[in-house]
Structure 1
Amino acid sequence: MKQMIVHCEPDTIQMALIEDGRLVEYAAERGREQSVVGSFYKGRVVNVLPGMQAAFVDIGLKKNAFLYVDDVLHPHLEKQPKNKPSIAELLSVGQELVVQVMKEPRGGKGARVTTHFSLPGRCMVFMPKSDYVAVSKKIQREAERMRLKMIGERLRSGEEGIIMRTVSEDEPVESVAGDLEMLRMEWERIMERAHTSESPDLLHRDLGILQRFLRDAFDPLNDELIIDRERDAKEAECYLSDLVPGVKPQMRVYEGKNHIFQAYGVEEQLKSGFSRQISLPGGGTIVIDQTEALTVIDVNTAKYIGGDNFEDTVTRTNLHAAREIARIIRLRDIGGIIIVDFIDMEEEEHRHEVIAAMEAGIRKDRTKSFVVGWTKLGLLEMTRKKARESSAAPYSRTCTSCGGTGIM
């Protein structure tokens, strides 16, 4: 069972997801800084750069959005031309088009946008023009995968595409069909507004943080929702009643004297989870350093002395670290390239065990992650998709004394 703890302030909502007593996800959103990822805009092409195979699109934000050629071609790979055309053949300056934000604006960069549209629902992701059906890899039973794929093929029409999400496992056809119909209506509303509006214009904004978490991470049948503001609790209840009609979720309003994050142990776990050095259950440590290009994680035995066999001690420490690293990456929402410097192991079998532990940990992550493998220098390389700014970023700042280096 999971617990979703929600702290509400006049202009901020903070979400904490707890699994088996451990904090695994955290997110925060200020009302005036709501994420634009997933939002649809009607934009105007302001620059086409054949040398970069990209275009810049004015969508009404401070910085023009970046549109790469691959995000203009047909979303189904089999329907793309064998030789990629120049971006100048596909787009022209002044052209209006509908785009969807796939990456948040960060630093000096504008948002990254695409014409490969997708609308997430509870059971599926609806793709109006993708022309294929896929099933989440986290659904492993082959018979269930085939059932869902057949349902998707039967329900979709024309060039519609569908990805069946993990929650669709064992769902009746009626639930899946209802989800699809709701998403179709949403898409039609977006297109109707696009036909009547002038660019640049916001056509559709993705759900706020509370609704997104309820849609993507909350199981109304098994999980518990605890909110410390009654108004938001009522909104959550109304949203869940629309999302899963007939199901009464476990939810309540927190009325204790202490801060809700203190009462449920979230505050303490946030402090330790966002520290540079994190202690492992067995006495080892991991040290995390994030740079512009990648995140580097170092594993140390520290106080863990293990048994008589050094290889066994190292392997146990690395296995503890792999499980904790998978949790911390998810908690901090670390994206991009991640390099882990595990303690050197002699046996190939032990290296396989560590990769297996890491892969088992990231399977629980809703964000797409991939373990690449060991480099020639014995480092573990992995990647994780990054769309939104880190949840901690709005609440942290670079030290004015050391400039972020940690050295004086």
Structure 2
Amino acid sequence: MTNSGKRVLLIENSICSNEVRVALSINNKVVEFEQEFKEKKQLRGNIYVAYIKRIEPSLQAVFIEYGKNKQGFLSFSEISLDYFNIPEKEKETIFEGYSNDDCIEEASANVSSDSAASKNVNGSGSGFVREVPLYKKYKLQDVISVNQKVLVQLTKEERGNKGASFTTYITLVGRYCVFMPNSMSKGGVSRRIEDANVRKQLKEILSSINLPKRSGLIVRTVGSGKNKKEIEQDYNYLSSLWQSIQKNAFSVNVPSLIYNEADVIMRSVRDFCSDGIEVIVSGKEAFEAVRQYANNALKGSKLCYRLYRGYAPIFTYYGIEDQISELYSNRVELPSGGSLIITLTEAFVSIDVNSGKMTGEDSIEETAYRTNMEAVPEISRQVNLRGLSGLIVVDFIDMLKYQYCRAVESAIKQAFKDDKAKVQFSYINDFGLMVFSRQRIKPNIQEINTTECLHCKGTGRVKSNEVIVSSILRDLQHIANKNRNKSFDLVAHSAVIAHIFNNKRNTVSTIEKEFNITLNVSIDNSLDVNTFVLKQGDDVNLNGYKPLQNSGYQIGDSSNEEADNSNKLRGNFWLTKWLSRLLSSNN
């Protein structure tokens, strides 16, 4: 087992399921979790040679073809000056203006390198363009042409009916640096490095590196404290990678994929590993991949990694599996007895903080404050592990004291300080609600690992037996009124039939006597609980009858039904005769 305080990166490569799982454990508690199937590898960060398929001036964007019958969206603001069909002298003049702009340089210094590592483009090159938009100086249709060849990087993958989004501002993420080969700025230092002396030292190192024209370099947070040799070595690796991409771009057919972003194993080793972290790998294939990456991209680093040789699954042995399983539950228990209820909706994510069994304080106010403060780090952890994004609404326990509300707000901002995604916060309002938005950097765990329930259709609730039986009796009465002196067949789940016999015997008997009908009941447990079939007998005429809308039943004709139904669990009996025998015995 891992010792308390030890930082361990566990990599599990399951051959039988073609799945790779990575977990970062600190103090035996999972703080980072990544998962990837070989059939569904991440595409964000991939680089393609594409061509412009269609220009849409009204959208200020173009549609590109980056694969066979694959089209993506490229905004005008994401098109580099290199692809503008304007004279080279004009390009040089514009570029010099950007290079001499102090505001742009300051903006680059404030870009989070870790955000760039996760978002690839949104936190770097494209951000600089938006400072002084080039697309406001030109018309899209005047500087871009159809069938023009472009080198693009995927920033947002396809999701539902939305196509993929791209940028021409390429970013290559390394161990300590982010290289931007066609940036409008020279780069800077991650804003998460707050020490003034360290920032000054890193800026001096950046100034001493001879970067190509129209390129930039950002030092990531993990680059803090690294010397010039280590940063230069990482830059040289990224520079050679970019030269290889450029070489391939000239030789391949259009459209083509020319660069694959690092897979989940490489990304995890690159982003999570620092001094003091041990990497334990399960699976020879994954171990070989880590070894090759360490030798090629992490030369000189003191990465400690070894192959796991135990018989028990690695996540089970290190106590990680149970923590991963808890991510599928909407309830998260807090140490002192409180809990979080996490609910995903179409519009936002709801997180409700409950005090539960938490006691021990002198007043309700103190209990609320303590519970809210205990919930804050767990909220940050759950949001990160589950990959929650978009609007997130936290319903804290109501606090009356102003200083308590401000303390909770400060604590939650501090808890998300190291989050790779961009997070924007509001304040706790009078209803105890705090809303913040989080950038989507990966799909949430429910989106990729779960499917919609066939019974509840994603609502989480199904109709009660009382409601279903009421619908059956209402529809039976309606049909019987149109077809008196006939027989009917009811097929439903056993739980529904049991409810009829236990609670609605007299009601069924009354309907049969009033309309002089006979109801034959059958059990079919292959049906959903809230679905039933009301079938007519051979001599029943339903001409002119239209079933009620959304009543949850189906009308079928037994004369056209196949005779072989022996494979279904059914119990046929005559309800009227059964009731008559029951009534006679009671008398």
The alpha carbon displacement at 1:405 in A equals: 1.0
Query: Residues of 1 paired with 2:135 and 2:242: CA distance?
Result: 30
Query: Residues of 1 paired with 2:139 and 2:347: CA distance?
Result: 29
Query: Residues of 1 paired with 2:354 and 2:321: CA distance?
Result: 26
Which among 208, 212, 217 is matched to residue 263 of structure 2? Answer: 208
1:115 aligns with 2:168: yes
The alpha carbon displacement at 1:292 in A equals: 3.6
TM, length-normalised to structure 2: 0.66
1:270 aligns with 2:324: yes
1:169 aligns with 2:224: yes
- Indicate how the Cα distance of structure 1 residues 365 and 174 shifts in structure 2: closer, same or farther if over 3 A, else same: same
Query: Residues of 1 paired with 2:66 and 2:196: CA distance?
Result: 43
Q: Report the secondary structure of 2:349's partner residue.
A: strand
The alpha carbon displacement at 1:168 in A equals: 0.5
Q: More deviation in 234-243 or 183-192?
A: 234-243
1:96 aligns with 2:101: no
Q: Which amino acid aligns with 1:158?
A: K
Which among 37, 50, 55 is matched to residue 62 of structure 2? Answer: 55
Q: More deviation in 280-289 or 64-73?
A: 64-73
Q: Report the secondary structure of 2:397's partner residue.
A: coil
Equivalent pair of 1:63/1:111 in contact (CA under 8 Å)? no
Equivalent pair of 2:77/2:134 in contact (CA under 8 Å)? no
Q: Report the secondary structure of 2:146's partner residue.
A: coil
1:32 aligns with 2:87: no
Q: Report the secondary structure of 1:195's partner residue.
A: helix
Equivalent pair of 1:241/1:247 in contact (CA under 8 Å)? no
Which among 147, 159, 162 is matched to residue 106 of structure 1? Answer: 159
Instruction: Give the corresponding residue for 2:74.
Output: 67
The alpha carbon displacement at 1:87 in A equals: 3.7
Which among 330, 343, 347 is matched to residue 401 of structure 2? Answer: 347
For residues 354-379 of structure 1, the C-alpha deviation after alignment (integer angstroms, 9 at most, x for no partner) is 12221222223333333343457542
Query: Residues of 1 paired with 2:80 and 2:212: CA distance?
Result: 21
The alpha carbon displacement at 1:101 in A equals: 0.6
> What does 1:77-92 correspond to in 2, within 5 Å?
77=129, 78-81=131-134, 83=136, 85-92=138-145
The alpha carbon displacement at 1:86 in A equals: 4.4
1:259 aligns with 2:266: no
Q: Report the secondary structure of 1:102's partner residue.
A: strand
Q: Which amino acid aligns with 1:307?
A: E
List structure 1 segments (4+ residues) > 4 angstroms apart after TM superposition: 375-378
- Indicate how the Cα distance of structure 1 residues 125 and 387 shifts in structure 2: closer, same or farther if over 3 A, else same: same
1:17 aligns with 2:70: no
- Indicate how the Cα distance of structure 1 residues 43 and 296 shifts in structure 2: closer, same or farther if over 3 A, else same: same
Instruction: Give the corresponding residue for 2:415.
Output: 361
Q: Report the secondary structure of 1:33's partner residue.
A: coil
For residues 141-187 of structure 1, the C-alpha deviation after alignment (integer angstroms, 9 at most, x for no partner) is 01111221232233134221122101110100011111111111111
Equivalent pair of 2:237/2:297 in contact (CA under 8 Å)? no
The alpha carbon displacement at 1:402 in A equals: 0.8
TM, length-normalised to structure 1: 0.93
Equivalent pair of 2:421/2:441 in contact (CA under 8 Å)? no
The alpha carbon displacement at 1:255 in A equals: 2.2
1:191 aligns with 2:233: no
Q: More deviation in 349-358 or 323-332?
A: 349-358
Equivalent pair of 1:99/1:115 in contact (CA under 8 Å)? yes
Q: Which amino acid aligns with 2:461?
A: I
Q: Which amino acid aligns with 2:215?
A: E
Instruction: Give the corresponding residue for 2:367.
Output: 313
Question: Could you say what the CA RMSD is over the residues aligned between the two structures, in angstroms?
Answer: 2.1
Runs of 5+ unmatched residues, structure 2: 1-5, 82-125, 463-587
Runs of 5+ unmatched residues, structure 1: none
Query: Residues of 1 paired with 2:46 and 2:338: CA distance?
Result: 43
- Indicate how the Cα distance of structure 1 residues 234 and 321 shifts in structure 2: closer, same or farther if over 3 A, else same: same
For residues 312-364 of structure 1, the C-alpha deviation after alignment (integer angstroms, 9 at most, x for no partner) is 11111111111101001111122222221212222222122212221222223
1:335 aligns with 2:389: yes
Query: Residues of 1 paired with 2:430 and 2:404: CA distance?
Result: 16
Q: Report the secondary structure of 2:375's partner residue.
A: helix
For residues 34-78 of structure 1, the C-alpha deviation after alignment (integer angstroms, 9 at most, x for no partner) is 111111011122222222222221111664211122212564345
Q: Report the secondary structure of 2:372's partner residue.
A: helix
Instruction: Give the corresponding residue for 1:389.
Output: 443
Q: Which amino acid aligns with 1:174?
A: K
Which among 188, 200, 206 is matched to residue 146 of structure 1? Answer: 200
The alpha carbon displacement at 1:307 in A equals: 0.9
Query: Residues of 1 paired with 2:251 and 2:427: CA distance?
Result: 50
Answer with 1 or 2: which has the greater Rg: 2
The alpha carbon displacement at 1:247 in A equals: 4.0
Q: Report the secondary structure of 2:427's partner residue.
A: strand
Instruction: Give the corresponding residue for 2:7.
Output: 2
The alpha carbon displacement at 1:202 in A equals: 0.3
Query: Residues of 2 paired with 1:169 and 1:269: CA distance?
Result: 32
1:224 aligns with 2:231: no
- Indicate how the Cα distance of structure 1 residues 378 and 83 shifts in structure 2: closer, same or farther if over 3 A, else same: farther
Q: More deviation in 139-148 or 84-93?
A: 84-93
The alpha carbon displacement at 1:196 in A equals: 2.2
Q: Which amino acid aligns with 2:240?
A: M
For residues 277-313 of structure 1, the C-alpha deviation after alignment (integer angstroms, 9 at most, x for no partner) is 1111121111112234322211111221341222111
Instruction: Give the corresponding residue for 1:41.
Output: 48
Equivalent pair of 2:77/2:133 in contact (CA under 8 Å)? no
1:160 aligns with 2:165: no
Overall identity of the aligned pairs, in %? 30
For residues 190-249 of structure 1, the C-alpha deviation after alignment (integer angstroms, 9 at most, x for no partner) is 112222222211011111110110001112x31011112123213212312333334453
Query: Residues of 2 paired with 1:296 and 1:84: CA distance?
Result: 43
Q: More deviation in 86-95 or 210-219?
A: 86-95
The alpha carbon displacement at 1:257 in A equals: 2.4
Equivalent pair of 1:319/1:357 in contact (CA under 8 Å)? yes
Q: Which structure: greater helix fraction?
A: 2
Equivalent pair of 2:172/2:238 in contact (CA under 8 Å)? yes
Q: More deviation in 137-146 or 247-256?
A: 247-256
